[in-house]
Amino acid sequence: MLRVLMILVPLALSIYAFIDCITTDEKDIRHIPKPIWAILVLLFPLVGSIAWLIVGRKPTAGTGSAGRRGGWVAPDDNPDFLKSLEKNGKGDQGGKDDTGEAAKDGAKPAADADAAAELERREADLRRREAEIERREKGGSADDVPPAA
């Protein structure tokens, strides 16, 4: 088993280093040109691979190949996405109603009042249901409850 590891680990390291050397941009390579690094990794698998990983490429802030090559970034970390939110009014529909048409002046405060009234109605309904559940748990029936006004 140890003999197999002594062969597989340097082989895997040299394959990784060779592929990384080939796919790295020319501007991110240090000290020697890219083709010479590739030849060094192929001719001296262990030493060339370690040298490439330590000295051959510029250090990167990101982890893994996706961070180094500009891979996917979460929306809350993406400056372009955050700018688009600010431009669009932080998720606001830009003064448009549900039909997609531009809202008239004064329509937004009326919509806010309607939303507040709907919220109050739902909260009252929720309190009524909670009271009904409490009465049922205490032994009363739902028929004993007077209808809500």
DSSP letter for 96, please.
B
What percent of the chain has pLDDT above 70? Answer: 72
- The number of domains in the chain is 2
Q: What's the rounded Cα separation, in Å, for the pair 115 and 105?
A: 18
Last residue of a domain, one of 9, 39, 56: 56
Q: What's the rounded Cα separation, in Å, for the pair 132 and 110?
A: 33
Predicted confidence (pLDDT) per residue in 78-105, tens digit: 888 888 888 777 555 545 555 555 555 5
Residue numbers of the domain that contains 125: 111-140
Q: What's the rounded Cα separation, in Å, for the pair 50 and 46?
A: 6
Question: Is 75 a domain residue?
Answer: no
Amino acid at 62: G
Predicted confidence (pLDDT) per residue in 98-143, tens digit: 555 555 555 667 778 888 999 999 999 999 999 999 999 988 655 5
What local confidence, expressed as pLDDT, does residue 120 receive? Answer: 93
- Answer yes or no: pTM beyond 0.85: no
Last residue of a domain, one of 31, 56, 81: 56
Question: Is 45 a domain residue?
Answer: yes
Q: What is the DSSP string of 24-87?
A: S-GGGB-SS-HHHHHHHHHHSHHHHHHHIIIIIB---SSSHHHHHTT----GGG-HHHHHHHHH
Question: Is 90 a domain residue?
Answer: no
The larger pLDDT score, comparing residue 35 to residue 107, is at 35
Question: Is 66 a domain residue?
Answer: no
